[in-house]
Structure 1
Amino acid sequence: MRIDLHTHSTASDGTDTPARLVANAAAAGLDVVALTDHDTVGGHAEAVAALPEGLTLVTGAELSCRVDGIGVHMLAYLFDPAEPELARERELVRDDRVPRAKAMVRKLQELGVPVTWEQVARIAGDGSVGRPHVATALVELGVVGSVSDAFAPAWLGDGGRAYAGKHELDPFDAVRLVKAAGGVTVFAHPMAVKRGRVVPEAVIAGLAEAGLDGIEVDHMDHDEPARARLRALAAELDLLPTGSSDYHGTRKTVRLGEYTTDPEIYGEITRRATGAFPVPGAGGALQA
């Protein structure tokens, strides 16, 4: 059983539509895929409608958080999307994305980069605009070689020359809100040092005490020593260790199912969730 619990679609900053993503997930031999767009559940309905037979969809979102000045991403699974407090926080984050992206464009222009808001808006399309869209603009202009290069401190990384902040949740509040909405939380790529500063292990321990369910261990941004340490930390803190691709379509080189979650861990995630349930595929049609 092959399970990938972290993917993105055009509802946020991926390049596959939700319908295309589930079709590609089935083609990649996955049995379970989670759609975890940034701060939105806007792609879920399309993904469910197109869900192929034999593939199960886990609904979720990747919540933007910050603690002690460090950006944190919290994967939230199988929560009730209509729970009002969590829905309000997601809306606040989404509403702040456009002003933030425009601020990054202005900073880049001040640095002499000929990027425009129109270019970034074109790249984002109907998705929830974010840093990867600005990063893609830098790739198009030849300023950097890849989206990952754009996230370096020289450009869009936390505290970088063209970085701009936005409304973000405290991760402790995120854990509380997701739990109140019947969901399960997993700390995404906690040791992705190439993205910037990471939180100390004491913060992860505090989150575990506050109800955090798991940590993402197997991820493209974790080298082998980081994975070994995270696996040990998960055991120490009684957290569920997951593995996921963090697939963004053509925006990243990682493939669907390149990293996966153990079926027993997936089973525990579904047992803990009460806000929503995995959706089995019924042979839905791929939308154009």
Structure 2
Amino acid sequence: MSSTKDQWSVAAYSASASFVPKLTQKLLSYLAPQPTDKILDVGCGDGKFTASFLPVVGSVLGIDASPAMIESAKKDYNDPKAEWRVVDCRYLDKEGTIVNGSWDKVISNAALHWILRDSPTRMNTFRAIHDSLKPGGAFVFEMGGHGNVPEVMTALIYTLVQHGVPAEKAKAANPWFFPSEAWMRDALESIGFQVDEMEIEYRPTKLTSEANGGLAGWIKLMGASFLDVLPEEKQDVAVRQICEILEPVVTREEDGSQWLGYVRLRGIATKI
């Protein structure tokens, strides 16, 4: 997510990625929310996932780089236990009122692969999360892991190249960072976390059948950084070409449903 351009639309997200806050049972079991918990939600989006544990904890601060998403969270989840704030989490270390060692738990669902995309700020973000927590506090996360949506990545880059974009420029448009389990473990341990649980899971994920959703909707929303490399008048053509490439790969014969090859990396780390 970018602080310079807000690509996020609540309506588009609901149409194309409404499954994101629903596929969180394992992450919630890792969080193990308690009535006294003060929780920081990093990359909270529109607040739907946050709302799933809000009733059973003490308080929550949800932060996200998207003004549109935060505005939606404020509107939909106007709860005295919840606060919502626009923060570019790549620069969380600059937020002294948040990074203050007062949080029982920090959670992040389906956001770190956006937040960690810039290598110069990755470790600063981790340090800020570490410094936000009380001693013994837990960092709980789920994100895209190494090998996430490889078919989409290939089709996006290939299509840009076919439109005359140099291969290196097409690769540089990638807005995501999908680390391996080993990379994540090493990164967290290097700044003083104790990694208690870490797993990577291949989880094919069914796309929505909503109007303006499905495969084309997913590409337009999630792949916006790739599409923005092209002139605006070429973007719809590119989306159609990407869909033509992907449809035979992601469509199931028995019912026509479309599935992407999601790989999820999740874990629990304790501040020691």
Q: Same fold (TM over 0.5)?
A: no
TM-score normalised per structure 1? 0.28
Structure having the higher helix fraction is 2
Higher RCO by CA contacts (8 Å cutoff, separation 6 or greater):
1
Structure having the higher strand fraction is 2
